[in-house]
Structure 1
Amino acid sequence: MKFMMLSLLRTGFKGNTFCACRKILIDRQNNDFVRACHILSQIRRNFSSNVVLGCISSRKSGKIEDITVKETIINTLVDPTGTGRDLTGDLDQDQVSQTLMSFTKQSEVYKAAQMEGLIEPFLSKAMERFTEFVMNNISQLPAQLHIVLYDIINSGKHMDDLFPFFIDYAKKLYPHFEFKDDLQLICDLTQPANWYPEARRMKRKIIFHSGPTNSGKTYHALKAFMNADTGVYCGPLRLLAVEVFKKCQDYDVPCDLITGEERRFHFSPDEPAAHISSTVEMASTTLEYDVAVIDEIQMLRDQERGGAWTRVLLGLCAREIHLCGEEAAVNLVQRIVHTTGDSLEVRRYDRLTKLRFDTKAIETLEEVQGGDCLVCFQKKTIYNVCMELERLGHNVAVIYGSLPPATKLAQAEKFNDPKDPCKVLVATDAIGMGINLKIKRMVFLQIKKFSRNENGQLVSSDISTPQAKQIAGRAGRYGAGQEVGLVTAFTEKRMLELKDIIKQEVEDIKAAGLLPTVEQLEQFYFYLPSFKLPDILNIFEHMSTVNNDMYFLCAMQNFKALASLIDHIDLPLRVRYQFCMAPVSLNSPSLSTMYAKFARSYSNGTPIDCKWLLMQTDYPWVLPRTIKSLSNLEEVYEIMDMYLWLSFRFEDIFCDREKVQEVQSELETVVQEGVKKLGLLLLKKKTDETKGLSQKKFKWKKKGK
């Protein structure tokens, strides 16, 4: 009986025998060997088929080869009944180890695996994991694998017989290799222009308005936009979209405003205006326009958002498209337009006012003058600078990223108003685009900025040449009575460093960003239904093919981080994709927590109204008395922005949009009043950290004072 079973296992099938042999042992006890053979013939299948697709988990290393099935799924391969051991006896652990070592060193094994489509870095990792699996489960191996190892050690059988077991294990470890050809076809990104057949059927004329800040390039593009019968403006920021919307109103051009968080209609939602001002992500690629404007076209190089600019450049259905941006983008646009069959005209502009470095750097804040804008890249630095300037008698305006849009505009108006006592502005690089400011002199207090690298770690580095030039170019605005804009820095050393940065030539942009569409990810999910979105994105990135001469796949670090935050929540893939596109700052624990709550509510089908939302805050709000309370209110505003953004996509769950808009407007007023009293709030903030920062990091005062 034992010999017959061993013979069957050696020759009868080449698959996993875990379930089969368990049934054989049961039937052997019932003296029903005929039935056992019948079962054996029925379950003849491949080694890998025993494991159903299970949950996929990404390991902490972030390496693509570490995205594998969970250990619990791998462990279903073992045979706890020890059928193989029962048939042949125990395997010698040292001999098995030597056999596996010899197997892994054979070059023929690697060549054969590569022919099966298993390539590095997956091949080496699979070999390592296969060895671990065998050694850790040497007494519970699948029966046929046990027998093959026994025969290799004791009967001189060739170790190549291990290869089918290894390759099946590897494909089980990385299930996406089973559908490699189909998946590679899905993530073929070499012809993105063909994603937009409607645009390809049109004969589009592209006009590139190239020039530095304050050169009038956007003015000429907007003139064409407002003179057209129909048009769309695509801006990088909500502030810019609102500015164009208001400008259309000033010129009696009916225009609708469409951003992620806001809709304003000139007539009504049922009667759209002929002109639309929108953020670039919200622009439609199916509606037809006479004229489209894509502002800050150089943003197509951005690692996170670049795909949005590439999308509208390739996909807008407009007979005439005006691009506004840096000269560095011209050559790339020329190459892209060549693939789309459109025509291109480049119009170059010079700066309308002069821009030069001041004769010297400033050494203390006592040298600050009216019309100065002091630039730094950390909010706490802004607070400390403001506190010292208030002490010196300056009335200060502040602009930084987390302020509500209306508050930024109010602070800008305060600084621009010649009748207002405020003559000094302290800001982050948020002023680089989107706000018109009457700055006489740009003072760089810092030239280093923190950003996250591809591993999500915060690193400090000098601002780039394009960033430095764009910020510096805000000085000496044309039409503000300023013929020359001045640029300086804090300390002579920093001034020299800034000059080195700005004098460098801006390199031509080599490639434009691409983002995977939700349809592409859905097709991936069809083949790999148990993979989670972060891992699908990583696999998509690894398997994708891109025309590297013109395009790159965006890093999508923020998207992936948001996907990980709601990884444990049951959501359809398309819904999960939409949630991951939401404007959520990962720097705020409260925002991240509320984001997960929103996703959970959608999963449970529980509508969220304004009352519930206010219960999560300190409503009713009062004027902030500390910097911390002001920051808390800014976060509440961002939470409401997130709610409004989701309400335009999932109205059944985020069902109280109008009420939330009303209370958000109230909150905006409270924040504005708090920012007006920023000096008083800062005087109450007397921590050791602040003292150390102002005394050590910046020498605001002259020596001896």
Structure 2
Amino acid sequence: MKHIRNSSDKSALDKLLVEASEQKDASTTNANHSKKRRHKKKKKTGTPEQIQEKERFGKAVSYIERMDPSDVIMKDEELLEALTLELETYFKTQKVTYFKSEAPVNSDNYSVFLDQLEKKSMSILLNRHLRNALYNKMEDKIIESSEAVKAYIDSCTTPKQTLRIRKLIKARVYNRVMDPCYNLISSPYSVKDIRNFLWYNPRYHDFEEAKREEESAAELLTANILKEIPDYYPDLYPAARRMKRHFILHIGPTNSGKTYDSIQALERAAVGIYLGPLRLLAHEVYEKLTADGVPCRMKTGEEDIAPEVRDHQASTIEMLDSVKHYNVAVIDEIQMIADRQRGRMWTAAILGVCADEVHLCGAPEGKDIAIKLIEDCGDTYEVITHERATELVVEKEHFSFPDDVQSKDALIVFSKRNVLACAAELQGIGISCSIIYGALPYDVRKEEVRKFTDGETSVVVATDAIGMGMNLPIRRVVFLESEKFDGMTKRPLRTEEILQIGGRAGRRGLYDIGYVNAEFRKNLIRNAFKSAPDPIEKVALPFPESLLGLDGSLSDIFTRWGAIQQSNDAFNQTDLSVEIKLCRFLEQKTDDKELIYKFITMPFDEDNITLFSIWEEMADCEIEHEIFDYRRFIPEISMTSYSAEDLSFLEENYQVCDLLCYYLNRFGLPEEYEEVSEARSEIAVKIMEVLSKQELIKRKCRSCGKQIKWNSPYNICSECYEKHMRTPFYGGW
């Protein structure tokens, strides 16, 4: 048609278009008439029986859609009674589908099931099989409640015909009524009732019977423990109760001279002992007494220096002999009595030390609880309040690291990684550092303290280990971090922690004023010095070794002992989780409770695979009465020099030697002790050499190697992070 050129051709085209349009309209009209005819024909089809069935179905559907299933089911007492009986029958006869069908029931998963039942009640039992068993009775009730529904169901000749109406009932009833109904019928039953039902179930009878026997044994063990513990707890230490002791409490903040005065009394005594929290502090007292002409023995779990000396001893708190008589005893840092791991040792020392005169040194928050224990013992006491010798000032000026670092600063962070990274950054700009953190061998810590004291290093970078009685010539304490990880969570510093650490500034005799500053959250630090920490109200109790003679495994005894403390508001619960874990491990090898107790009280990092494997071999040899080949584990230290990258390797080897020394001391092999002690000293020298080089490794980006800031929370620089985030793998562009 595109070739048509004149008007006549154009009119012919118009005519063709009109004819095509009329044909289309006619076909559409015919199609519509055909549809109407078919529709009318369809409406007219169907037998009278089919039409009647549709009417019955419509009435049934109408009832189901109008009814309230809660009224039909929840108010029918007879039905609820039947459902309750169904529930009891299920527990007594059916398999609880908490357990996977392919997994057999055993004592372990049954115990887990009971724990879940205790925590979540019976909601964990509302599973598919139990729901179906209850729903079947509910469905029957809905059908019987309506003549229309019942008539339709009765008229159906095949199950497939009833399926439509049953699906509709389930949609209306199942989700709306099942949970409320189950809660209603199960609410009268306690966990004990459910266990009584399960006792009749052949699938769980044996496990339930064993569980009941286990619980009876636990109750008996608890009763025996309570019998062994006197109503008057100090009576656990009869030797101390036969004495009339006098306590002198030296109470004051850091840098107030309280420990100095007590050491003077120790030196004047004929027989005396110092008990502190750290080997380093015990070593300081040992050196002071020796330098002052008083022969002294130093005894810790890992070493025994000058064992021939009998009159004076400097030790960590765990080394107290509660039978030996002393003229004077000094117990340092008594505020640690509230510590969940070691606090019980301070409680035992105050209650059980056999000394005519006992000096307690500590922060003010420990005074009231110490006095309460002394009064419980019936002993006399006096309180000497020590005032801080130098003024302490929180600086107003902002601190920026590393620009504002000054000589004789103590920079405080709260992890080994940050200590090393911070010190490395300072060394990079020419500032020499001493470093102190908990995992550092105490010989090395002593050397780092000496270098700072003698001026060989300008500043000290340390964790809160610096706050535990260490005397350093610090002019200013700077908190580079205001939060610490306490083993469970990262939290802000407490008031007592800030005061203990910040109080190290302005050493007596060197400075008239001590200064404190912080790079972040200075208000937290400032407010701590305007307030006082809350007094300690509870103490952790030591584990009575007399309980080792009770029937039952040591892990069960520890567990019941912990539960007794937890239920008593007067005591802090001692954290015995590590001891219980180690107990259960050794109980697979032996039932000798005294031997197990010796091994679980060895101080070592149980999470370190190397140390744990050595500890296990030691235990195996003692259990099998074999000789432990300790020489096989003495580290071989190369004569070549080590770098900062080897610090962790050297520290772990030092810990290995510590564990070997502790074993040789505890199991009476002093002749072999010297060999291991020499190896340990060599490792300490190597660590000192590494630190003396002042060449710690700065933190670098793991991707590009570029230096990153010491306190960066990530091991990658911001540029590399952005680059990686742009890649398709990370959803970038």
Normalising by the residue count of structure 2, what TM-score does the alignment of the two structures yield?
0.69
1:598 pairs, out of 612, 618, 624, with: 618
Q: How does 1:531-542 map to 2 (within 5 A)?
A: 531=553, 533-542=554-563
Q: 1:371 — aligned with what?
A: 408
Of the three residues 472, 485, 498, the one matched with 1:450 is 485
CA distance in 1, matches of 2:706, 2:577: 32
Instruction: For residue 264 of structure 1, report the CA deviation from its aligned partner.
Output: 1.5
Q: Secondary structure at the match of 2:489?
A: strand
Work out the CA distance in 2 between the residues paired with 1:497 and 1:257: 40
Contact 1:569 1:599 in 2 (8 A): no
Q: Deviations over 1:84-123 (max 9, x none)?
A: xxxxxxxxx979xx9xx99x9697x97xxxxxxxxxxxxx
Cα distance between partner residues in 2 of 1:65 and 1:301: 35
The residue that corresponds to 1:665 in the other structure is 681
Deviates further, 184-193 or 288-297: 184-193
Corresponding residue number in structure 2 for 1:674: 690
Separation in 2 of the partners of 1:558 and 1:185?
23
- Cα distance, 1:130 vs structure 2: 5.4
Q: Which residue of 2 aligns with 1:644?
A: 661
Q: Which amino acid aligns with 1:303?
A: R
CA contact (8 A) 1:187 1:544 kept: no
Residue 687 of structure 1, CA deviation: 3.5
Partner residue of 1:623 out of 632, 638, 641:
641
* Contact persistence 1:399–1:428 (CA under 8 A): yes
Q: Does the 8 A contact of 1:416 with 1:437 survive in 2?
A: yes
Give, in angstroms, the shift of residue 543 of structure 1.
3.9
Q: Report what 1:424 is aligned to.
A: 459
CA contact (8 A) 2:263 2:330 kept: yes
Gap change, CA 1:129 and 1:220, over 3 Å in 2: same
SS in 2 for 1:680: coil
> Matches of 1:433 and 1:290 in 2, distance apart?
26
Give the match's secondary structure for 2:341: coil
Does 1:433 find its partner at 2:468?
yes
Instruction: Determine if the alignment matches structure 1 residue 486 to structure 2 residue 486.
Output: no
Query: Residues 407 and 360 from structure 1, CA distance in 2 versus in 1: closer, same or farther, beyond 3 angstroms?
Result: same
- Partners of 1:496 and 1:328 in 2: CA distance: 22
1:505 aligns with 2:521: no
Pair 683,255 (structure 1): closer, same or farther in 2 beyond 3 Å: same
User: Structure 1 residues 690, 396: closer, same or farther in 2, change over 3 A?
Assistant: farther
Written as runs of structure 1 = structure 2, the 5 A alignment for 1:349-360 is 349-360=386-397
CA shift, 1:536, in A, is 3.2
Question: 1 CA distance for matches of 2:340 and 2:270?
Answer: 35
- Residue type matched to 2:422 in 1? V
Code of the residue aligned with 2:683 in structure 1: it is: L
1:101-158 CA-to-partner distances (Å, cap 9, x unmatched) read 99x9697x97xxxxxxxxxxxxx3x6555555654628xx68xxxxxxxxxxxxxxxx
Q: CA 1:215/1:518 → structure 2, altered by over 3 Å: closer, same or farther?
A: same
Judge conservation of contact 1:355–1:473 (CA < 8 Å) in 2: yes
Q: In 2, distance between residues paired with 1:385 and 1:545?
A: 41
| Alignment deviations for residues 545-587 of structure 1 (CA, whole Å, 9 cap, x no partner) | 87634x3341233433443554543362111112111111245
2:599 and 2:334 mapped to 1: Cα distance? 26
Which one scores higher on RCO, CA 8 angstroms, separation ≥ 6?
1
Distance 1:647 1:58 in 2: 43
| CA separation of 1:244 and 1:516: change in aligned 2, threshold 3 A | same
Whether 1:581 and 2:594 are equivalent positions in the alignment is no
Q: 1:571 to 1:547 in 2, by over 3 A?
A: closer
- Read off the aligned partner of 2:605 and give its amino acid letter: S
Aligned-pair CA distance for 1:684: 8.9
C-alpha separation in 1, matches of 2:479 and 2:699 = 27
Change (3 A) 1:384 1:545: closer
Contact 2:630–2:660, Cα closer than 8 Å, also in 1: no
Q: 8 Å contact 2:303–2:661 — kept in the other structure?
A: yes
How far off is 1:187 after superposition? 6.2
Answer whether contact 2:562 2:574 (CA < 8 A) is retained: no
Q: Provide the residue aligned with 2:631 in structure 1.
A: 611
The answer to whether 1:285 aligns with 2:315 is: no
Give the Å deviation of 1:388.
Answer: 1.1
**In structure 2, do the counterparts of structure 1 residues 361 and 63 end up closer, same or farther at CA, with 3 Å as the change threshold?**
farther
- Please state how far the C-alpha of 1:440 moved relative to its aligned partner: 0.8
Are 2:232 and 1:216 aligned?
no
Q: Per-residue CA shift, 1:266-311, capped at 9, x if unaligned?
A: xx53xx4311111111011111111111111111111111111111
Structure with greater helix percent: 2
Deviations 1:331-364 (CA, angstroms, capped at 9, x unpaired): 2222222221110100101000111111223123
Contact preservation (8 Å) 2:698, 2:710: no
User: Which segment is superposed worse, 440-449 or 495-504?
Assistant: 495-504
Shift of 1:610: 4.2
TM-superposed CA distance for 1:56, in Å, is 9.1
- Give the greater-gyration-radius structure (CA): 2
Deviation at 1:192, TM superposition (A): 1.9
- Number of the residue aligned with 1:238: 279
Alpha-carbon distance in 2 for matches of 1:57, 1:565: 20
Match for residue 295 of structure 1 among 332, 343, 355 = 332
1:569 aligns with 2:635: no
430 and 673 in structure 1: CA distance in 2 versus 1, 3 angstrom threshold: same
Mapped to 2, the partners of 1:201 and 1:666 lie a distance apart of: 47
Distance in 1, Cα, partners of 2:397 & 2:368:
37
Between the aligned partners of 1:199 and 1:306, the Cα distance in structure 2 is 20
Tell me the amino acid that sits aligned with residue 260 of structure 1: G
SS in 2 for 1:608: coil
**What is residue 89 of structure 1 aligned with on the other side?**
none
* Structure-2 change in CA distance of 1:330 and 1:225 (3 Å): same
- Residue 696 and residue 670 in structure 1: after superposition, are their counterparts in 2 closer, same or farther (change >3 A)? closer
User: CA–CA distance in 1 between the matches of 2:389 and 2:712?
Assistant: 40
Task: State the shift of 1:447 in Å.
Answer: 1.5
Closer/same/farther in 2, CA of residues 65 and 648 from structure 1, 3 Å limit: farther
Q: Which residue number in structure 2 is paired with residue 397 of structure 1? A: 434
What amino acid is the match of 1:539? R
Aligned residue type for 1:467: E
Please point out which of 565, 572, 579 is paired with 1:552.
572
Q: Is the 8 A contact 1:226 1:253 kept in 2?
A: yes
Distance 1:514 1:60, change over 3 A: farther
**Deviation for aligned residue 1:697:** 4.7
Show CA shifts across 1:211-266 (max 9, x none). Answer: 0001011111111111111111111111111111111111111221111111122x
SS at match of 1:631: helix
Distance 1:436 1:477 in 2: 8
CA distance in 2, matches of 1:468, 1:548: 28
Match of 1:632 among 636, 639, 649: 649
Q: Give 3-state SS (helix, strand or coil) of 1:366's partner.
A: coil
Partners of 2:632 and 2:459 in 1: CA distance:
41
Letter matched to residue 667 of structure 2: F
TM-score using structure 1 length = 0.71
Establish whether residue 471 from structure 1 lines up as the match of residue 501 from structure 2: yes
Q: How many residues are aligned here?
A: 551
Counterpart of 2:641, as a letter, is L
- Check the 8 A contact 2:562/2:576 in 1, yes or no: no
Identity %: 30
CA–CA distance in structure 1, aligned partners of residues 711 and 684 of structure 2: 34
- Unaligned stretches of 5+ residues in structure 1: 1-53, 68-92, 111-123, 143-164, 453-457, 699-705
Distance 1:694 1:237, change over 3 A: closer
Partner SS state of residue 265, structure 2 = helix
Alpha carbons of 1:441 and 1:544: their partners in 2 closer, same or farther (altered >3 Å)? closer
